[in-house]
Amino acid sequence: MEGVFASGRIVDGILLLVALEALLLLWLSRRTAPFAGLSRPALLATLASGAALMLALRAALAGSPWSVIAAWMLAGLVAHLVDLGLRIRTAMAHRRRSPAPGTTPRTDAFTRVTTF
């Protein structure tokens, strides 16, 4: 077991599980209601960020040069920034939508002050 960790091969198994997770989530996003709103680009960006960091770990465990480790970490940063940008864009789009008709905490039923 020590050799599996020392060579970085353990990361290969984890990356395989991440790839299977991505396939499962992409499949579920097409099939079932709870996952129907799942943003595929955001999902892939999140998983890519984690995968890049795991590849940096694998490179470090295998004794790769620092430039290879730094390149994987930079790839993780780029994927993370893409993920963050997608999340912010989605949140801003939700904030710009007009509220559904009816009583909400922002309507007069909740905000008007009545004095007796």
Per-residue pLDDT of the chain (116 residues; tens, 9 = 90+): 888 777 788 999 999 999 998 898 888 877 776 666 667 888 889 999 999 999 999 999 989 999 999 999 999 999 999 999 988 888 787 676 665 666 666 665 556 666 66
Task: Give residue limits of the domains in the chain.
Answer: 2-97
Q: What 3-state class would DSSP assign to 67? A: helix
Express each pLDDT in 32-60 by its tens digit: 766 666 678 888 899 999 999 999 999 99
pTM of the predicted structure, to 2 decimals: 0.71
Distances in whole angstroms, Cα of residue 51 to Cα of each of 3, 23, 82 = 21, 14, 14
Residue type for position 111: T
Neighbour count for residue 75 (Cβ, 10 Å): 17
Structure tokens at 104: 């909400």
pLDDT of residue 106: 61
Distance CA 54, CA 25 (A): 20
